[in-house]
Structure 1
Amino acid sequence: MRFHVGSDHGGAALLEILVAALGEWGCSVLSRTGPAPGEKADYPKVAHEVATQVVRDREAGADDVFGLLVCGTGQGMAMTANKVPGVRAGVVSDGFSAKMIRAHNNANVLCLGERVLGSELAKHLLREFIDAEFEGGRHGARVALIGSLTGEGS
């Protein structure tokens, strides 16, 4: 599994921890978007950049490419990322939801909040997301319906 990752200033410390975990788990980081240490960044710009990279790679056939976005709550990143056609981003704070957004919703971007999660929980959520697989079937039809609402494919 490969990731485009990004954070604003409110998620930079947690993203560092999660990038290290990805490396330990054998996952590649393809790109990193966000502020330099001590700088501020607007989460909409970061989320849009990462989401666009994920869609570009997936449209080119790289089904193993996902996005990881971190801000203070994860909410702003998810709202912005979901504006990019082809992205299905979700914010999670429990392991079951982290698994289900992939298994049932075929999410391709995970959004987390540094100010609401501890680092161990965040690593657990990322691991659940990674380990889950899209179940397809009736869930595939529902994901296609989501895409059809905005004129895009599944």
Structure 2
Amino acid sequence: MKIAIGCDEAAYGLKLEIIRHLEDKGHTAVDFGSGEGESVLYPNVAYALAKEVAEEKFERGILLCGTGIGMAITANKVPGVRAAVCHDSYSTERSRKSNNCQIMTMGARVVGAELAKNLVDVWMESEFSGGGSQAKVDRISEIEKECR
């Protein structure tokens, strides 16, 4: 799977860990920044990555910052994107199975590298289940269109 990944300076080290982990699992990880020692405005990274995911240039995206919250807020501003903060395995799984999220966000100040890699595995192995969730995801898309 082709995965977009980006971070701010708070999560640079975690990003490198996750890139290695994804590549070890046979995925292609494309780095959207930031670079080592580079201070960035995380909304710029989140926006650039989310646009590419919305245009289906990537199957999924991973955004990392101090808490994951700001990245999720920004990514969710891009039409067609559903991003969720993923700090535990149940919510991570449900973000895919119930909400069909294409972007997961995590905070390097919240989760350690081993937990983050585990959450990435849970997220990558989970697929949207449709069923009763389909109407809810469709309604999210309708609301998004109404707000444009």
Could you state the TM-score of these two structures normalised by the residue count of structure 1? 0.91
In 1: Cα distance, 2:122 partner to 2:14 partner: 17
2:101 aligned with 1:107: yes
In structure 1, the residue corresponding to 2:78 is in which secondary structure? coil
Aligned to 2:134: 140
Retained in 1: the 8 A contact 2:80–2:141? yes
Deviation at 1:142, TM superposition (A): 0.4
In structure 1, the residue corresponding to 2:115 is in which secondary structure? helix
2:77 aligned with 1:78: no
In 1: Cα distance, 2:16 partner to 2:68 partner: 15
Aligned to 1:24: 24
Could you state the TM-score of these two structures normalised by the residue count of structure 2? 0.95
| Number of aligned residue pairs | 146
Structure 2: gaps spanning 5 or more residues: none
Matched residues, percent identical?
Answer: 39
* Superposed CA offset, 1:6-26 (max 9, x none): 001011110100000000111
Deviation at 1:38, TM superposition (A): 1.1
Structure 1 moving runs of 4+ over 3 Å: none
Aligned pairs for 1:8-87 within 5 A? 8-29=8-29, 31-57=30-56, 65-87=59-81
In structure 1, the residue corresponding to 2:106 is in which secondary structure? strand
Partner AA of 1:146 in structure 2: I
In 1: Cα distance, 2:110 partner to 2:70 partner: 13
Structure 1: gaps spanning 5 or more residues: none
Partner AA of 1:2 in structure 2: K
In 1: Cα distance, 2:3 partner to 2:131 partner: 26
Partner AA of 2:122 in structure 1: E
* Superposed CA offset, 1:96-133 (max 9, x none): 11111000000000101001101100001110000111
* Superposed CA offset, 1:75-107 (max 9, x none): 000000000001000001111111110000000
Retained in 1: the 8 A contact 2:96–2:126? yes
